Structure 1
Amino acid sequence: MNSEIAAALRGAARRFATGVTVMAAEGPTGRHAMTANSFVTLSLRPALIGVALTRSGRMRAAVEQAGAFGVSVLGAGQEHYARHYAERARGGETALVELTLTGRSPRVPVVPDCIAVFACHLWSILPVGDHELVVGEVAHCVADDERSAPLLFLGGRLVPGEPALLTPS
Structure 2
Amino acid sequence: MTTSSGGGAAGSGRDETPQERADRLWSEMLQEVRVCQTGAQILFGFLLSVAFTPRFASLPDFDKHLYTATVVLGAVATGALVAPVAFHRFLAGHGMKPELIHVAGRLIATGLVTLALTISAALLLLLRTATSGAPVAWILSGAVLLWFTTAWLILPQVVLRRTAARRRRRTQG
TM-score by length of 2: 0.25
Larger Rg: 2
Structure possessing the higher relative contact order (Cα contacts under 8 Å, 6 or more residues apart): 1
When you count helix as a share of all residues, which structure comes out higher?
A: 2
